[in-house]
Amino acid sequence: MLSTPESFSSSGSSPVQPGHGLDIEGVTHRFGEVTVLNQIHLQVEPGEFVALLGPSGCGKTTLLRLVAGFLTPTVGHIRIDGQRVEHIPTHKRNVGIVFQNYALFPHMSVFDNIAYGLRAQKTPASKVRSRVQEMLELVQLAQMGNRYPSELSGGQQQRIALARALAVEPRILLLDEPFSALDKNLRLDMQIEVKRLLTEQGITTLFVTHDQEEALSMADRIAVMSHGIVQQFDTPTTIYDRPATLFVSQFVGTTNLIPGTLVQQDSRGCVVALTDGTEIALATIPDLPLQSPVQVAIRPENLRLSPNPSSGASAVEVEICLPLGASTIYEVRTASGLRIKVTQPRGMGAAALPTGETLYLTLTSTEACSIFPVDDPVGM
C-alpha cells in the first residue's frame, strides 16, 4: 500500500458497503506524442472485482494511475460513485492502493503502518485503536500489531498492506500486481484470501495483472488490454470460451491456431476446410464472406487422443509428452505437418500415451472453437 497523506480523503470517508461504482468514459492518455491509452470505456459495478489483464506496456498501470489521480487523462472522464474526479486531487478521492512492493514503512510497527492513513485523516485516537485492531483481526494477524515489517513473511506483509488500504474505508481499492513477489504456492493462498476479504467487504476493486490465471480465478470481469485499447471486457468464462479477438484467444490460456478456408455457413454454423483437406463443421457463425482464409482457435483441452480410429478422427503422431500431475500435455503432428497441443486428464496410475505412436485426434465439441480472419487487425 502506498500510504501517504495523498492516498486518503482529508475529510473522512463513508462506509464501503455495498461498494461504489467506477466509470471510465472515453479516456485517452498521451505521453508527448505517444498514445498509451486510446478511448477506454469501462463501467465497474458497485462491489465488483475487475481485473485489467495484459502484457507489459499495454497501458493497464497507466489506467490505474489515472483512477488513483497520479495522472490526469488527456481526453475523457473518470467517475467514482457518479462524481467526476479527473480534476480532484488524489488525497480527496479516498482511493486505497496496494502496490506489488507493499510500501510498508520499515521504521513503523504494524499497528502504526495500518494507522497511518487514519491519522492523516485526523481520526480520533480511540477510533484509530479500534479500527486498527478490527483490520488486524480481519486479515487474521490480530497478535502482530507490535511487530515490524522486517519481522513478517511476504504473505503477512501483503495482508498488512491490504489492512492499511482498507482501514480508511476507501471508495475504490486499486491493486497493482500485489502477488508478483510471492512464490507460487503462497500466491495461490493469498489470491483466495484476498478474494474472500474483498467479497466480504463489498469493495469496488480494480486489479492490474499480467498473470492470466490470477485474472481468471479472482475477477468478476476481466478487461483484456493490448496496445492501449480494451480488446474484450467480460466474465472470465466468456473471455476464455468465447474470445472476441485473435489476441485474446492467444493471450488468455493456450490455444491452437489451425489455418483453413471458410467454405460454408448458415444459421446453424459453418464448415471450414483445413489445409490438409479435412473439413470440420463448427457451431460458430463468423461475420466473414465465403472463401475467406481463417484461423480456427481450439483449446488443447477440447481435443481428445485415442488409440482407436473413429468417424471424423484425424491420424496424428505423438511427438512430445509433458506430464503435469493431474493432466498431461501432448504435442502431436498431423499428416500435413501441423503441430497441435492436446491436454488430457490423467487417471490414477494411468500411463502417458507413447511418443512416436500413431493416434487419432477428435474435437470434443463443435461449439468449442472460435474463428478469426487471418489478418484480424484487433488481434495484432
Percentage of the chain lying above the pLDDT 70 cut: 93
Q: Identify whether the C-beta of residue 1 lies closer than 8 Å to the C-beta of residue 97.
A: yes
**What average pLDDT does the chain have?**
88
The H or E element containing residue 218 is: helix 212-218
29: helix, coil or strand? strand
Confidence band, pLDDT 50/70/90 cuts, at residue 378: low
Task: Name, in order, each residue with C-beta under 8 angstroms of 223's C-beta and a sequence gap of 6 or more.
Answer: 42, 50, 51, 52, 53, 230, 232, 233
269: helix, coil or strand? strand
Q: Identify whether the C-beta of residue 180 lies closer than 8 Å to the C-beta of residue 214.
A: no
Q: What are the sequence ranges of the domains in the chain?
A: 5-246, 254-374
Q: Give tens-digit pLDDT for 274-300.
A: 887 788 889 888 999 999 999 999 999
Q: Identify whether the C-beta of residue 144 lies closer than 8 Å to the C-beta of residue 110.
A: yes
CATH topology for 5-246 is: Rossmann fold (3.40.50)
- Distance in angstroms (rounded) separating the CA atoms of residues 281 and 188: 39
Query: What is the dihedral sign for C-alpha 219, 225, 229, 231?
Result: negative
Q: Give tens-digit pLDDT for 326-373.
A: 899 999 999 889 999 999 988 766 677 788 989 999 998 888 899 999
Task: Please give the order of strands across the beta sheet that includes 34-44.
Answer: 34-44, 22-31, 75-80, 83-84
Task: Name, in order, each residue with C-beta under 8 angstroms of 210's C-beta and a sequence gap of 6 or more.
Answer: 53, 54, 55, 56, 60, 177
pLDDT of residue 11: 35
pLDDT of residue 182: 76
Which is more confidently placed, 378 or 310? 310
Superfamily of domain 254-374: Nucleic acid-binding proteins (2.40.50.140)
Angle among Cα 163, 139, 43 to the nearest 5 degrees reads 60
Burial of 109 (0-12, 13-18, 19+ CB in 10 A): middle
pLDDT of residue 147: 94
Q: Is the pLDDT of residue 86 over 80?
A: yes
The H or E element containing residue 237 is: helix 236-241
Q: Is the pLDDT of residue 375 over 70?
A: yes
- Distance in angstroms (rounded) separating the CA atoms of residues 378 and 380: 6
pLDDT of residue 14: 37
pLDDT of residue 377: 61
Burial of 348 (0-12, 13-18, 19+ CB in 10 A): exposed
> What pairs with residue 31 in β-bridges?
34
- Distance in angstroms (rounded) separating the CA atoms of residues 158 and 98: 8
b/e per residue 55-85 (b: at least 16 CB within 10 A): eeebbbbbbbbbbbbebebeebebbbeeeeb
pLDDT of residue 183: 79
Residue type, 365: S
pLDDT of residue 13: 37
pLDDT of residue 101: 78
Confidence band, pLDDT 50/70/90 cuts, at residue 20: low
- Distance in angstroms (rounded) separating the CA atoms of residues 320 and 362: 18
pLDDT of residue 15: 39
- Residue in the structure block whose three cell numbers are 491509452: 37
DSSP 108: S
